[in-house]
Structure 1
Amino acid sequence: MIRWVWAFLDRPAQRFDDCAMFWSTVTGTRPSERRGTDGEFLTLLPDPALFAAAGVKMQSVTGLGGVHLDLDVDDIAAAVRTALDLGAELVANHPDYAVLRSPSGQIFCLTPSGRAKGQPAPAFRAPDGTLSRIDQVCLDIGAADYARETAFWQNLTTWQHTQGRLPEFARLRAKEQLPIQILLQRLGEDRPTSAHIDLSSSDIEATASWHESLGATVVQRQAHWIVLTDPADAVYCVTARDPNGI
């Protein structure tokens, strides 16, 4: 059973500080002290007054970076066996966590449970009153891999699978209150699976404008979401889902 889910923002070392400032600002969080052998990790901590648990971490990396999921489980070895039986590949087996790759190439980690205590943080109110919250990781899956990759994540998480309003989208949602859900997007091309984060917003135009003032760039506007890039040119979306929904 997955006890907690973390959205991990992997950002290039040369832009990491800018990204940490950007994401802490737009989420109303405080960056933790850096940790790791080279100080490459940090957690975005909610206001202590909220008595809420964090759900977003960041990692300084070489290369372009991206997004991956950390799944907290009670028994990492058993979870690794399950993932391998479902078609995952083991990338690295550390003493206290495992790094794997999904059947079509998305990196994720199985990590020890018990690190997060409390409820997911509520939506953050921007200076203009607009509410927003990082609430899902979208897996961008090539058309030829979509059925297999969807089955993999559905069986790995055991979460409820629901079809989206558009045929190219489906959602995996846990019964428990977790900070991050998973959106599955079928692309119109074949390529390895990648991921990006989505923020829900009470006003997508207002949120996008505020993010632009902090260093983001609008890439594309759709009816119900806006595609942007952050200060490291990493793609993310602001969507019209209810930011108060968990």
Structure 2
Amino acid sequence: MAHRSRLAGFIIDCNTEDLDAATDFWSQALGLPVTDRDAGDATAQYQALGDIRGGLYVAVQKVDHPSRVHLDIEADDIDAEAERLEKLGARRVAFVKRWWVMEAPTGQRFCVVRAQPEPGEDAARRD
């Protein structure tokens, strides 16, 4: 069955004890306002930046691994998208909470996340 996928956004992984300061740095460096200091949940600490063109998102995340930037690919069927990417040479690293962490053939890590409705898109089921 066909599925839909696209670039969703970028996550700036920061190995830091001060997520507010890291977010403030990236906000000022990128010229993007901090729009949500509590964008995470009980298991992940994120802060969202806003005013992004093209429907993408940028978030700053507190992590335990070395700092890096990774991209998210959103899909309406994350398992089908992970399988498609494996056929292109990527490998699944881990399923975390509700997304796949993947690794490109060249070593970059990225995530396959659930698609979010487009602004104004009807969230009703599709036949």
With the length of structure 2 as denominator, give the TM-score of the two structures: 0.74
State how far apart, in whole Å, the 2-side matches of 1:22 and 1:61 are. 16
Q: Which has the larger radius of gyration?
A: 1
State how far apart, in whole Å, the 1-side matches of 2:97 and 2:25 are. 33
In the alignment, what sits opposite 1:36? 41
Deviation at 1:12, TM superposition (A): 1.3
Relative to 1, partners in 2 of residues 1:36 and 1:13: Cα closer, same or farther, differing over 3 Å? farther
Deviation at 1:99, TM superposition (A): 0.8
Q: What SS is found at the alignment partner of 1:108?
A: strand
State how far apart, in whole Å, the 2-side matches of 1:76 and 1:39 are. 20
State how far apart, in whole Å, the 1-side matches of 2:48 and 2:118 are. 11
Deviation at 1:38, TM superposition (A): 4.5
**CA root-mean-square deviation:** 2.6
Q: What SS is found at the alignment partner of 1:64?
A: coil
1:17 to 9, 16, 20: 20
Q: Which structure 2 residue ranges, 5 or more long, are not aligned?
A: 121-127
State how far apart, in whole Å, the 2-side matches of 1:14 and 1:89 are. 31
The answer to whether the 8 A contact 2:5-2:74 is kept is yes
Alignment of 1:226-245 (within 5 A): none
In the alignment, what sits opposite 1:231? none
The answer to whether the 8 A contact 2:8-2:56 is kept is no
Q: Which structure 1 residue ranges, 5 or more long, are not aligned?
A: 119-246
State how far apart, in whole Å, the 2-side matches of 1:39 and 1:77 are. 22
The answer to whether the 8 A contact 1:4-1:116 is kept is no
**For residues 83-116 of structure 1, what are the alpha-carbon distances to aligned partners after superposition, in whole Å with 9 as ceiling and x for unaligned?**
1112211111246311111112111001111255
Residue type at the aligned position of 1:30: V
With the length of structure 1 as denominator, give the TM-score of the two structures: 0.41
Residue type at the aligned position of 2:50: L
State how far apart, in whole Å, the 2-side matches of 1:31 and 1:63 are. 25
State how far apart, in whole Å, the 1-side matches of 2:60 and 2:118 are. 16
Relative to 1, partners in 2 of residues 1:74 and 1:38: Cα closer, same or farther, differing over 3 Å? closer
Q: Is the counterpart of residue 59 in structure 1 residue 61 in structure 2? A: yes
